[in-house]
Structure 1
Amino acid sequence: MLGSLVHVGGMPLQDALARRAVDDGALLGEELLRIGYAGRARVGCPCVDSFVELHIEQGPVLDREGIAIGVVEGVQGICWTELTFTGRSNHAGTTPMALRQDAGMAAARVAALVHALSQRFAGRQLATVGALTLQPNLVNVIAQSALMTVDLRNTDGALLQQAQGALLAGARRIAAEHGVLLSHRLLADFAPVAFDAALVDSVERAARAQGLSTLRLPSGAGHDAQMLARVCPTAMVFVPSRDGLSHNVREFTAPEQLVQGANVLLQVLLERADR
């Protein structure tokens, strides 16, 4: 998605090359040079009539419902936040509970808050703590620091921003109650995207013309299509993910399902070309 964001002018190339990996701090530009992928082609979006992307669903809905083709109406908004709590290390056996500055406990309470946000806000509010690291990470030592990431997603942009505000307000309150410091930074912030209605209809027609069952749904994951939607009509075709698994070694879509998706994509492009 970073590449497509740069391609459509949503981020300057130099800013993208200066981005660092969340885990080890590696610079994107340096890594591209290291693996021989630092191309010389001019960056920028050419004149594009439309963009249609075929993808696995990466979720359980199509597989569970026995639906062949997902007709994607748009992509939900995404907010990623990194929270860092800084307290004071001390002995776990000799420090009274009331006298602790426990960064780990603060992070644990915020993790519970994150789950509560998914219940509090209407719509398709999703909330996930994806990473949590404690230091010094020893069994008998109160955590001096805790770093966590929070992934919030919703098809409703206003509700997503409300959830983000509630997260930060709650984290500040919890940090104060535990006597720890809180810092935060926004890792990603993408508004929900609605795909082109006519192109979405074309995907549905193409699937039904081939006798395939369809279901309209939003995409829970981010895709290049949401970036291209800034500059041209855009749509997506989903095929089922077995057991809804993705980002998992057991991720699988049957070859015949891939063929069905490819044929729908082909028909949509042919229809678009014949206009």
Structure 2
Amino acid sequence: MTVRINRDRLWSTLVELKEIGAYDDAATGLRGVRRLALTDADAEARRRCVAWMVEAGLRVRVDRIGNVYATRPGRDPSLPCVLMGSHIDTVATGGAFDGTLGVLGGIEVMRTLNDAGIETLRDIEVGFFTEEEGVRFGTDMLGSAVTAGRIPLDHAHKLTDADGKTVADELVRIGFDGDAHERRPVPHAYIECHIEQGPILADAGVDIGIVEGVQSISWQRLTLRGEAAHAGTTPISARHDAGLVAALVVVEARRMCDSGEFGQLRATVGNFTLGEGQTNVVPHEATITLDLRNPDDALMTAAEQHIAAYVASTATHHGVTAAWERMAKTAVVPFDTGIQDLLAATAEDLGLPYVRAMSGAGHDAQEIAAICPTAMVFVAGENGGISHTPREYSTPTACANGTDVLANAVLRLANQPQSGAGAII
């Protein structure tokens, strides 16, 4: 049995949700989305998604970290469910597709099954996870990491934003401090549909990617402390310039990427602040964040060791102290080969060409992979696959094709009988 989702209905929900948290972006001249986790905009988007879930006849529950799940019952509720999901929070300069496609696509799968009157053996669930982006509270994939057991609930609840507001208090404030246990029942399988956020699919001329896994990710915050001094009277040789050391670290991170010594390393300094910066004062403090990505765990370790040694020697040379804070770290996560093959077969049955690819971005799927067989469907983006900007865009056709693959793979999984320890057969 093959199903096709309602393409116009999916697109209309994407367009509607985009307006929640919408803003006019001066840098691009485009309409972007700013929907940081647990803000008022996020709360409104959550309520809109819950309304769509209820309208589709789904049973909704919210857990203690604010993750939301909606269930379409199967014939045998004793069997583990098939789970779809992603996130609806965005970065401060986001677009309409990152994360949102996987959630609204999952809701559309449920509607499509309802329209066709299709029953499944297993329950099917669609969910969205709290604070995937990590922009507000500093830890990405927070909700999925809590439900998978990597981050304790108490630790997550105590995380604070730049204004000192905690995750726990904000969950209460927006009304999403649920009572379901955060360690959810283990699914039979999990599939996440997501825009690629890169150029691989577009370069190959296809809409569909079968994701093999997620590369290693390292987030650290580096604080450098020197000594404030007069910009005009202090000799260069006598300065303890924290800003200079921070700038040198940025340049060294780029050199590491260009050198090839650390494989396919990608390094980004996304935040750079100079304490109470003043035009005529040598900076006494600088804080930067360093985002490292690498598809090879050993080379990631080598890169981290190198930058740590570089910072230590450079800071000492300039009379500056350095303090590191680990924000996040995940190893390379390979996805289940059985589900990858099922997705590939589904795409072939639908007549959709595809490529296999490694994900450069982090996703909730990498956390859920720790508890059940997991894989992802990538959907091609326009403009070179650019994301985390209002320029992010995917076509109605690509979004629908990706959701068709999701729907038919989930339907097959949801009709699988129990085999061994929940194996994908």
Amino acid paired to 1:116: R
Flag the structure with more relative contact order, 1 or 2, with Cα contacts below 8 A and sequence separation at least 6: 1
The runs of 5 or more residues in structure 1 that have no matched partner are none
Amino acid paired to 1:135: G
SS in 1 for 2:271: strand
Q: 1-side partners of 2:244 and 2:188: how far apart?
A: 53
Aligned counterpart, 1:219: 359
- Compute the displacement of 1:148 (Å): 0.2
Amino acid paired to 1:62: L
Q: Deviations over 1:172-208 (max 9, x none)?
A: 1110011011111110011110000111111111112
1:104 equivalent in alignment to 2:251: no
SS in 2 for 1:81: strand
Aligned counterpart, 2:217: 78
- Compute the displacement of 1:100 (Å): 0.5
- Compute the displacement of 1:60 (Å): 2.1
Instruction: Find runs of 4+ consecutive structure 1 residues off by over 3 angstroms.
Output: 120-123
Q: 2-side partners of 1:134 and 1:189: how far apart?
A: 25
Aligned counterpart, 1:258: 399
The runs of 5 or more residues in structure 2 that have no matched partner are 1-140, 417-425
Matched pairs, number? 274
Aligned counterpart, 1:63: 202
1:177 equivalent in alignment to 2:297: no
Instruction: Report matched runs for 1:1-275 at 5 Å.
Output: 1-21=141-161, 23-118=162-257, 119-243=259-383, 244-275=385-416
Aligned counterpart, 2:65: none
| Cα contact 1:9–1:45 (8 A) shared by 2 | no
| Cα contact 2:262–2:302 (8 A) shared by 1 | no
Q: 2-side partners of 1:135 and 1:270: how far apart?
A: 54
Q: Deviations over 1:91-110 (max 9, x none)?
A: 11211111100000000101
Q: 2-side partners of 1:160 and 1:264: how far apart?
A: 33
Q: 2-side partners of 1:213 and 1:64: how far apart?
A: 13
| Cα contact 1:83–1:183 (8 A) shared by 2 | yes
SS in 1 for 2:168: helix
Segment drifting more, 177-186 vs 38-47: 38-47
Q: 2-side partners of 1:135 and 1:49: how far apart?
A: 49
Q: TM-score, normalization: structure 2?
A: 0.63
Q: 2-side partners of 1:138 and 1:64: how far apart?
A: 46
Amino acid paired to 1:137: G
| Cα contact 2:262–2:303 (8 A) shared by 1 | no
Q: 2-side partners of 1:206 and 1:145: how far apart?
A: 55
Amino acid paired to 1:245: I
Q: Deviations over 1:106-160 (max 9, x none)?
A: 0010111111222343432111111100122222211110000000111111111
Cα distance change of structure 1 residues 188 and 136 upon mapping to structure 2, 3 Å threshold: same
Cα distance change of structure 1 residues 174 and 120 upon mapping to structure 2, 3 Å threshold: farther
Amino acid paired to 2:351: G
Q: 2-side partners of 1:120 and 1:27: how far apart?
A: 41
Segment drifting more, 191-200 vs 265-274: 265-274
- Compute the displacement of 1:31 (Å): 1.6
- Compute the displacement of 1:264 (Å): 0.4
Q: Deviations over 1:211-263 (max 9, x none)?
A: 22211111111111111111110000000121122111121111111110000
- Compute the displacement of 1:63 (Å): 2.1
- Compute the displacement of 1:11 (Å): 1.7
Q: 2-side partners of 1:87 and 1:200: how far apart?
A: 51
Amino acid paired to 1:179: G
Q: TM-score, normalization: structure 1?
A: 0.96
Q: How high is the sequence identity, in percent, across the aligned residues?
A: 42
SS in 2 for 1:266: helix
Please, what is the CA RMSD of the aligned residues?
A: 1.3
